Amino acid sequence: MMMSKPVFLNSIPDLFEHINIHEHKHISFHHHLRNGDDVINRVLSIYEAYNVKDIHLHPSAIFPSYHRILSLIKRGQITDITTSYINGDVGEYISEYGLKGNLLMTSHGTRARGIIEGKESINIAYLAVPTVDQNGNGTGTIGPSRCGSLGYAVADSEHADIVVLITDNIVDETLINPQIDGRHVDYVITVESIGDPKGIVSGITQLTTNPIGVKIAHTAATILTSLSSMKSGFSYQSGAGGISLKVTDYLRQYMETSNIKAQFFSGGITAYHVNMLTEGLVEELYDVQCFDLRAVESISQYEHHHAISASKYANPQDDTRVIKALDFVILGATEIDVNFNCNVTTDSFNTIIGGSGGHHDVAEEANVTIVVSPLIKGRIPIVKDRVTTITTPGQHIDIFVTERGVAINPNREDLINELSQTNINLLPIDTLKNIAENYTGKPKEIGQSHEPIGYILDRDYNRIDTLYKKKG
Q: Report helix, strand or coil for 35.
A: helix
Q: Three-class SS of residue 195?
A: strand
Please tell me the distance from the alpha carbon of residue 257 to that of residue 253, in angstroms, as a whole number.
6
Q: How many whole angstroms separate alpha carbon 6 and alpha carbon 184?
A: 9
Q: Are 237 and 326 in contact (CB under 8 A)?
A: yes
Residue 373 CB contacts under 8 Å (≥ 6 apart), including other chains: 216, 243, 332, 333, 336, 382, 400, 401, 402
User: In 3D, which of 29, 83, 32, 88 has the Cα closest to residue 63?
Assistant: 88
CA dihedral sign of residues 192, 198, 203, 204 = positive
- List the beta strands (DSSP E) in 362-435: 368-372, 376-377, 380-381, 383-384, 399-401, 406-408
Q: How many C-beta neighbours within 10 Å does residue 310 have? A: 33
pLDDT digit of tens for each residue in the chain (472 aa)?
A: 445 789 999 999 999 999 999 999 999 999 999 999 999 999 999 999 999 999 999 999 999 999 999 999 999 999 999 999 999 999 999 999 999 999 999 999 999 999 999 999 999 999 999 999 999 999 999 999 999 999 999 999 999 999 999 999 999 999 999 999 999 999 999 999 999 877 876 544 678 899 999 999 999 999 999 999 999 999 999 987 899 999 999 999 999 999 999 999 999 999 999 999 999 999 999 999 999 999 999 999 999 999 999 999 999 999 999 999 999 999 999 999 999 999 999 998 899 999 999 999 999 999 999 999 999 998 899 999 999 999 999 999 999 999 999 999 999 999 999 999 999 999 999 999 999 999 999 888 777 788 999 999 999 999 999 999 987 6
Distance CA 227, CA 264 (A): 18
Q: Give the residue among 386, 382, 360 at the shortest CA–CA distance from 372.
A: 382
Residue of 200, 147, 150, 195 lying closest to 177 (CA atoms): 150
Torsion of CA 317, 323, 328, 332, to 10 degrees: -80
- Give the length of the chain: 472
If 0-12 CB within 10 Å is exposed, 13-18 middle and 19+ buried, where does residue 385 land? Answer: exposed
Task: Give me the helices (H) in 25-118, please.
Answer: 39-49, 67-74, 89-97, 108-117
Query: pLDDT (tens digit, 9 = 90+) per residue, 309-329?
Result: 999 999 999 999 999 999 999
CA distance 421 to 411: 18
